[in-house]
Chains A and B, each alone.
Chain A
Amino acid sequence: MSRTTRRRLRQSGWDLLGLAVFAVVVFPVYWMISTAFKRSDDIVSLTPTWLPFHPTLSNYRSAMRMPFFWVDVKNSLIIVSVTVAISMGLAFLAAVALAKYRFTGRKLFIVLMIGIQMLPAAGLIIPLYVVLARYHQVNTLTGVIVTYMTFVLPFSVWTLRGFIIGIPRELEEAAMVDGNTRLGAFLKILLPLIAPGLVATSVFAFITSWNEYIFARVLLNDQSKQTVTVWLSYFLGTSKHTDWGALMAGSTLTAIPVVVFFLLVQRRIAFGLTAGAVRG
């Protein structure tokens, strides 16, 4: 066997392995989507049907007809958009401070922003529940919004800071020469430059809030007030006969906005957590 043939064979070996890994890793997602399009006979049959040969939308119809689906989607949308809007406004200012100024206490603030993100949500449910109960905010969307800000704010400050640092100082100085104050120059001329970063951070904040489960589960007990993740987790309910098709359709519906958004911003944000490590 010649050298090139051997090398080509080895390359094909690696590629085959890569394809096998791809198949295994992606399979659960494929299985969710294909089940959602199958007829119930094909779903419950003992010999699985690998492809939806008789595609149907009836699973989606029954998922959407489930009680509280639309109400809970609406709740999720309200909670997520208010959380993101408020957090971005506040976080942007703090991110400017971190990226463009040196000040006493800066380090402490950074420790706070990173440290808070490490707190396990489970450890916070009791204090948040008790305090929100004290102010009659349990079972209200406001209570959940406030809670979500505890993790969206630190994350957004840290990520936005990364985007602002990326802007060359010369641009800012040029703006200042034109007679603007530092902050004025920054807001007028550089804000447009950070817009993509703001969008990416907002989208990521949207995703984390949309996916959140434990706080919503603890704080909202009224079915008409719950979020879509809690709705999905109760889907199986108490019925003996599980409607897997509808469950998978509901899962697909819950995942779609997240997947679409994630694919859009993944490249921009994904490395935020470790960006420095890769570089330095």
Chain B
Amino acid sequence: MNNLILIIIGMAAVTYIPRLLPFFLLSNKQIPKRVDAFLKCIPVAAIGALIIPGVFSATPDMPMAAASGMAFTIIIGLWRGGIIIPVLGSVAVTYLVLFFTA
């Protein structure tokens, strides 16, 4: 077995185990209220950190392009809601801004 296959297997194990364990540690048990409150706050906390500051370097040479795409998502998302149009629209807007400023 070469080194790289060993690395891949090791990486797969240390990635999979943390993803798996909580499903067996937490389910089917009564979770204390305090812990439950904490778990409920995980999504917004995680997503905030996943978006900021990454989004500002999504189009490194032309930050305005990603910003325009996000502006489109915010406007359409707040106005009409939905997923597909806000997302595909933001890609299209970003593309157009990059295309015409390049």
Partners in one complex: no
